[in-house]
Amino acid sequence: MQHRAGLSAFAAFIKEITLKRLIRISLAAFVVLAAPAFAQTLTGTLAKIRDTGTITIGHREASIPFSYLDDKQQAVGYAMDICARVVDAVKAELKNPNIKVALQPVTSANRIPLLQNGSIDIECGSTTNSVDRQKQVAFGPTYFVINVTAAVKKSSPIKTLADLNGRTISTTAGTTAVPLLKKYEKTGNVDVKEIYGKDHSESFLLLVDDRVSAFVMDDVLLAGQIANARNPGDFVIITESLRTEPYSVMLRREDPQFKALVDRTLGGLMKSGEIEKLYARWFTSSIPPRNVNLNFPITPALREAFKNPNDKGVQ
Amino acid sequence: MQFDTTVITGSLPYLWQGMQYTLQLTAISALGGLFFGTLLALARLSPIKPLALIAAGYVNLMRSIPLVLVIFWFFFLVPLLLQAALGAERPPQVGAERTAIITFIMFEAAYFCEIMRAGIQSIPRGQVYSAYALGLTYSQSMRLVVLPQAFRNMIPVLLTQTIILFQDTSLVYVISATDFVGAAAKIAQRDGRLIEMYVFVALVYFVICFTLSLAVRQLQRKIAVIR
Amino acid sequence: MGFSLDWSVFLQELPEGGVYYWEMLLSGLWWTLGVAACSWLIAMFFGSIVGTIRTTRSQPLVFFGNAWVELFRNIPLLVQMFLWYFVLPEVIPPLKRWVVAADPAEAQFLSATLCLGLFTSARIAEQVRAGIQSLPRGQRDAAQAIGLDTVQMYRFVLLPMAYRIIIPPLTSETMNLIKNTSIALTIGLAELTFRTREMGEYTFRFFEAFTAATLIYIAIAMTANRVMAVIERRTAVPGYIAGGK
């Protein structure tokens, strides 16, 4: 991200508004005059990309290994690699190899509003595809499947989720793990006390410092935290699952042309088996910036999703 | 407790980039805030009732909402408002950094206004009457008599507010702008080294702010009015 | 690309059932008010003492007061909150034992209240000192001339005037403190902003949730502001611009 010198940035901003208005007026005139020249009428996001010459990708900053900043502060990861294929497909579709790619960091709290207000065109991160969210946004085909479970110290007596009864656990605020855990407490007659970390590393720090007995979160994110710990061998992930959730890219709703392009691109990656190469690069090899290896092989549920590409959300 | 300093040394360029943004944002917001804040203070004290009411309403609104919420609102509303103002088809891309500058100037103006108002009110009335008696106009008496003294009396508070502003810029993390704390937090989260990074951030802020407040005290001694 | 607003979301139940979203926000509001009230008391108590001793003629007292203010005002609240909650228990073993055994909410409440109270006390101390120093030197001289000792001089002459002068910035500080309680969300305290974000995450109705929170904060701040304005009017001293006719 570029930080321009203070006042001049403000002046440039004002200037740009005026400039943008001029461009927009001339653009509008052009469109009116040239409208019949376009054989296929593009709508939604594809039309926006054609008009602005730019596709804006929303990415995460610390969602290892899906979408995060490496030591050169470039956004990298499994989801970013997949989105690069989408960008290629967009360029081919619009027959314009000069489409610019803009990157906009997003958080779990602002990703949906930013997508809706047009600040980003596609979100490439670790977003759960749920039926509830589908009322507001659309998703591409599932590219990852996680289990919500718990990480504990190896030395701890906790071996199953039921062992959490009577314990204090940590989890990250604003994630889907929170309501799941509450539901589990109710139905499983388990009584746990929660501490909410503001991000995964804080929740994990509470476990490292023995402030809590377990950290309840998506298994792949737990693996990422453990891989980065000082002593990765001290921790173990419980193999039970509170729930299985699909991850995918997030798109705007009611945008059939762009959705079809994304479905086609990701589906192609999955059918050709190319996605397994991408997977191996991020989940079973050393990844930047600290050259840790998550050692997280493809699960049967994910293999199933690759075989039958779909955008079904979790209830 | 082990202390892993490599996480800090390895990311110094990125941290410095964040610090540069923090410094810029602070300087622009302080100057802009002081300028608009002084105008607001004069408006609040003005005998023209509607003007005073509007200024008071604005100041009270801004001072009522947590900065985190103000930043959130500006970030999502500025593009929509610009869209409406320009009659554009889509919201223009304003960007987190520019939004933060606008937000902080608008927000800080409310705080600088209250400080300047307290400063103006600390000047005995007699001085204003004397100024009028000398034949000065309203703007002359404000510019030449009241504001210089108000400003001087309030310098410690104004600078304290600027130091607060410097620290408050850390809240731009809610819109993913990368200031100093934002840069540090991102590295800390990525590498799982929170304690090292936050202790480092605390030290850096302490050294900078403490140096500033020493300078403030020096300045204060220099300009203090003997009463 | 637009989106529709749905205000009935507050009347919906949470995913786990039994609780409505408006109740969730309300429970956050109680935590916000609790933290604000307790840390305000801490801040006023320490702020008044520290601000006053910085204007005395005693070198050690002035040094202590200065050190207090510099320590607590020179580190961002966000970072201080983290140090109180995550780092301090690691350095002090008995505190760690208590934190692990205690209810998580109690430990968060204590950290947040102490952190916010002491942070604000530094700023209030600065106001109190500025207020005392803005008084004409003659007041101090006159108090001594009529035979008051130092405590009496502060109690009966300097502080009553100083507090009146600093009411406007003190109002700002009080309102700041109320709003700063929102930063306690960074250590997981389930106060109003925390609940608002949580509600946004569950329902994806960020605009509705944040609008409700904004209105609630305005209501709290307006109430605090009105109370301070009444105090300002009641205590005004004739002869100063603030004193009216």
**CATH superfamily entry for domain A147-245:** Periplasmic binding protein-like II (3.40.190.10)
Domain boundaries, chain A: 41-144+246-307, 147-245
pTM of the predicted model as reported, rounded to 2 decimal places: 0.73
pLDDT digits (tens, 9 = 90+) for A28-70: 544 444 444 444 688 899 999 999 999 999 999 888 899 998 8
Indicate whether B226 pLDDT > 60: no
Concatenating the DSSP letter of every residue in C136-153 gives -HHHHHHHHHTT--HHHI
> Of A148, A104, A103, A135, nearest to A242 (Cα)?
A148
Report the DSSP pairing between strands A75-76 and A214-218.
unpaired
Flag if C1 and A118 touch (Cβ within 8 Å).
yes
Burial-class residue B210 by CB neighbours within 10 Å (0-12, 13-18, 19+): middle
Indicate whether A20 pLDDT > 60: no
Q: How confident is the model at residue A11 (pLDDT cuts 50, 70, 90)?
A: very low
pLDDT digits (tens, 9 = 90+) for A65-93: 999 988 888 999 999 999 999 999 999 99
**CATH superfamily entry for domain A41-144+246-307:** Periplasmic binding protein-like II (3.40.190.10)
Report yes or no: C146 and C156 within 8 Å, Cβ to Cβ.
Answer: no
Report the DSSP pairing between strands A122-128 and A54-59.
parallel
Flag if A6 and B101 touch (Cβ within 8 Å).
yes
Amino acid at A79: A
Domains, chain C, ordered by start: 7-243 (1.10.3720.10)
Question: B-chain residues within 8 Å CB-CB of C126?
Answer: 156-157, 160
Q: Does C143 touch chain A (CB under 8 A)?
A: no
Residue found by looking up tokens 């296929």 in the block:
A40
> What is the predicted pLDDT for the residue at B91?
64
Q: Does C196 touch chain A (CB under 8 A)?
A: no
Of the two residues A267 and B64, the one the predictor is more confident about is: A267
Three-state DSSP string of chain B: CCCCCHHHHCCHHHHHHHHHHHHHHHHHHHHHHHHHHHHHHHHHCCCCHHHHHHHHHHHHHHHHCCHHHHHHHHHHHHHHHHHHHHCCCCCCCCCHHHHHHHHHHHHHHHHHHHHHHHHHHCCCHHHHHHHHHCCCCHHHHHHHHHHHHHHHHHHHHHHHHHHHHHHHHHHHHHHCCCCHHHHHHHHHHHHCCHHHHHHHHHHHHHHHHHHHHHHHHHHHHHHCCCC
What's the fold here for domain B6-223? MetI-like fold (1.10.3720)
Flag if B122 and C241 touch (Cβ within 8 Å).
yes
Q: How confident is the model at residue A13 (pLDDT cuts 50, 70, 90)?
A: very low
> What is the predicted pLDDT for the residue at C245?
35
pLDDT digits (tens, 9 = 90+) for C140-191: 899 999 999 988 999 998 998 888 888 888 887 888 899 899 888 888 888 9
> Choosing among A111, A127, A132, A198, which should be mutated to test the C contact, i.e. which has the most C CBs within 10 A?
A198
Q: How confident is the model at residue C89 (pLDDT cuts 50, 70, 90)?
A: confident
Q: How confident is the model at residue B176 (pLDDT cuts 50, 70, 90)?
A: low
ipTM above 0.90, yes or no: no
- B178: tokens are 């990368």
Rg (Cα) of chain A, in Å, rounded? 22
Flag if C1 and A116 touch (Cβ within 8 Å).
yes
Flag if B195 and C87 touch (Cβ within 8 Å).
yes
Indicate whether A24 pLDDT > 80: no
Q: Which residues pair with A252 in a beta bridge?
A: A137
Mean pLDDT for the stretch of residues C94-101 = 87
Closest Cα in chain C, distance from residue A271 (Å): 32
Flag if A173 and C198 touch (Cβ within 8 Å).
yes
Domain boundaries, chain B: 6-223
Mean pLDDT for the stretch of residues A239-264 = 93
Mean pLDDT for the stretch of residues B70-80 = 74
Q: How confident is the model at residue C240 (pLDDT cuts 50, 70, 90)?
A: low
Give percent of chain A above pLDDT 70: 87
> Choosing among A46, A107, A112, which should be mutated to test the C contact, i.e. which has the most C CBs within 10 A?
A112
Q: How confident is the model at residue C198 (pLDDT cuts 50, 70, 90)?
A: confident
> What is the predicted pLDDT for the residue at A34?
46
Q: Does C169 touch chain A (CB under 8 A)?
A: no
pLDDT digits (tens, 9 = 90+) for A124-161: 999 999 898 898 899 999 999 999 999 999 999 999 98
